[in-house]
Structure 1
Amino acid sequence: MGLEPVVAPLLAIRPIPQAAPDLTGIAALAITSRNGVEAFAVLTEARDRPVFTVGDATAEAARAAGFVEVRSAGGAIDDLARLLAEAAPGVVLAPGALEPAGDLAGLLAGRVEVRRLPVYEAFETGAPAPVGFDAVLIHSPRAGRALAALGPFAGQPAIAISEAAAAPLSAACGLDVRVAVHPDEAALLQALGKPAPPV
């Protein structure tokens, strides 16, 4: 796209040490991020439960980790809730973040029993924003909050993967906030736009 990427993580991930989870009575897994897949996969060798994921990247990570039956909702947490409600798989274990971005159990209350299992936590790195950046990509509400705390900025575009990720970026932080039309990487890059090729 003619842009030079600068990797400057606002958040870092660390697994939560724990014993292997008891999967007795668990009919399926619901996973909302690649971090959730990676942290859960090291806790157990069990790969026999069907896995429902929020998006395609998480589904690919689950397959790479050895899970055989994987279904992607291809969207956001609301899409995952709809997929689980339609499938009605039984009791669902949701390994994920200590502070999840969405409330899957709440979305499915009275329809599908969801048991949360925190397997990782995200923490702010405190790294300063790079000098002279032209645009920034935001993948989560937590990252949006961390970025807003680094402002104010000078009107650079901030492209958020969802409305929830954009919400912490108030006008006071000085960014030109855009939201991807679909919560995936392809739509995020499309919202960034294609600059003119260098001459």
Structure 2
Amino acid sequence: MTRPEEDAGPLTAKLEAMGHEVVMVPLLSIRPRDGVAIPDLRWQAIAATSANGIRALPKAHGLTSFRTLTVGPQSLKAAQAAGFMAEAHGGDVNGLAAFIRAELDPKAGPILYLSGAETAGDLEGQLKAAGFDCRRVALYDAAPAETLGAIARELDTGGLDAVLLYSPRSAKIWRGLVEGAGLAAKAAPVRHLCLSRNVAAALPDGWNTAVSASPDEAAILELLEQTA
């Protein structure tokens, strides 16, 4: 399980209930930024492409009255838990951008994009190109892991059956750590279950990869069961 600790707990419990033995190896550590200022505007909508963008909001942000658009179940659940009038569309950044272009009016007001310092896609750029006034606010940093930790031994001894990868960045970090530890040959046959084709593309050619049918948790768990 390579997700940050904030996201890994519930999914780990679900995997264990399915009969899997899970090792948590967070490849990213989420660090909210202090002193972030959010413009006080009448937002047409708020866009959030990760649950961390919601969790990292400063207290008393005053945004829950605005329509909030998320990309999938994880970010939707976080937004609803925080009191937002949230809905999920698109499954990923490109899908959410397509929904906004099709359903919202650039003249109806600005869009607030809650994000991390690094993003998997350019939602802001896509919306601006379509004529929207999109204001991106980076609320957190995602620091990469520096070592494989205990999983290095499992990988070296052949005790690892599958790796779940949820973003191109996490896939690049995993690849870098594996190659840095001299374990690329041991990792190549391990099943790498990827949330999207972009995630799989970050791994070396020849590695054992599979892509979920859609970019959501249910699909990647179904993929895990299919390849078990």
TM-score normalised per structure 1: 0.89
Q: Check conservation: 2:57, 2:139, Cα contact below 8 A.
A: yes
1:110 is displaced (CA, Å) by 2.5
Deviates most, 7-16 or 78-87: 78-87
Aligned twin of 2:191? 157
Find the partner of 2:213 among 155, 176, 181. Answer: 181
CA distance in 2, matches of 1:189, 1:61: 20
Aligned twin of 1:143? 170
Find the partner of 1:81 among 79, 97, 105. Answer: 97
1:41 is displaced (CA, Å) by 5.2
Aligned twin of 1:12? 29
1:64 is displaced (CA, Å) by 0.4
Q: Which runs of 5+ in 1 are unaligned?
A: none
Tell me the SS of whatever aligns to 1:101. Answer: coil
Aligned twin of 1:193? 225
Q: Could you report, residue by residue, the CA deviation over 1:139-188 in whole angstroms, capped at 9, with x for unpaired residues?
A: 111100011112301410001111122221012xx630111110001111
Tell me the SS of whatever aligns to 1:178. Answer: strand
Aligned twin of 2:59? 42
CA distance in 1, matches of 2:97, 2:21: 37
Q: Which runs of 5+ in 2 are unaligned?
A: 1-17, 179-183
Aligned twin of 1:102? 121
Aligned twin of 2:12? none
Deviates most, 150-159 or 36-45: 36-45
Deviates most, 103-112 or 139-148: 103-112
The aligned length equals 193
Cα 1:128–1:19 shift into 2, 3 Å: closer
Q: Could you report, residue by residue, the CA deviation over 1:13-66 in whole angstroms, capped at 9, with x for unpaired residues?
A: 101112441222432210001000101253613311110111122111111001
Tell me the SS of whatever aligns to 1:12. Answer: strand
State the percentage of identical aligned residues: 36
Aligned twin of 1:117? 137
Tell me the SS of whatever aligns to 1:36. Answer: helix
Q: Check conservation: 2:90, 2:99, Cα contact below 8 A.
A: no
CA distance in 1, matches of 2:59, 2:201: 33
Q: Check conservation: 1:36, 1:120, Cα contact below 8 A.
A: yes
Q: Check conservation: 1:97, 1:122, Cα contact below 8 A.
A: yes
Amino acid at match of 1:165: V
Higher helix share: 2
Cα 1:123–1:28 shift into 2, 3 Å: same
Amino acid at match of 1:134: D
Deviates most, 158-167 or 17-26: 17-26
User: Alpha carbon RMSD of aligned pairs, Å?
Assistant: 1.9
